[in-house]
Structure 1
């Protein structure tokens, strides 16, 4: 039960932090590309990779509150999906494709760099 409460509280805090970051970064665009959620997903993937790498390297159990709760709520592919569909409905196909590729490839690359960089160091 304690784990469920910790995940819930951390998730609420992660969602709140995502909201604040998206408001702070929301005005930053590059050729209609919605950078706020892209940067949030990238930074969350990097942080998750770091946590997973540290956990694997030092054989420690990472709190589910941090990974499932905070980082799970902080990153959001549901908002990414909404923004991608909005770009497509506005017929901004080039920007939509760039956004989709950057979001997916960037998140995987940053997670991998952090995870393997820490685990192998």
Structure 2
């Protein structure tokens, strides 16, 4: 097995652990009404991946893979957004479900774009 594969897998585990911690730290403060913790995770992860991508050749390819696919891939989560949206819809909280789905899409795209700008400017 490739050492790089092990590094990416380990980084993914760390990212998943960070996602859990951020979600647990934020959600109790905001209450369970809206999945704000996962929203913060996905927006911050999209921004970080944008910065990493914007840095381009300034970051070694192996490090970029470990951080991008590994750490940030484990940190961010589309599946949780999907499940939370369905759960909100099942509770007939249509506005919250739409806000979660489309708000996440819009905010993560903006965050990724800002990250790309910042990373490109820093490279």
Q: TM-score, normalised by structure 1?
A: 0.90
Counterpart for residue 34 of structure 1: 35
What is the distance in 1 between the residues matched to 2:76 and 2:119?
A: 21
1:1-121 pair list within 5 angstroms:
1-29=2-30, 32-56=33-57, 58=58, 60-61=60-61, 63=63, 64-120=65-121
More helix by share: 2
1:59 Cα deviation from its structure 2 partner? 6.8
Unmatched 5+ stretches in structure 2: none
Matched residue count:
120
1:29 Cα deviation from its structure 2 partner? 3.3
Cα gap change, 1:23 to 1:5, in 2 (>3 Å)? same
What is the distance in 1 between the residues matched to 2:110 and 2:69?
A: 20
Say which SS state the counterpart of residue 26 (structure 1) adopts. Answer: helix
Q: CA RMSD in A?
A: 1.8
Q: TM-score, normalised by structure 2?
A: 0.88
Cα gap change, 1:62 to 1:120, in 2 (>3 Å)? farther
Cα gap change, 1:84 to 1:60, in 2 (>3 Å)? same
What is the distance in 2 between the residues matched to 1:31 and 1:66?
A: 30
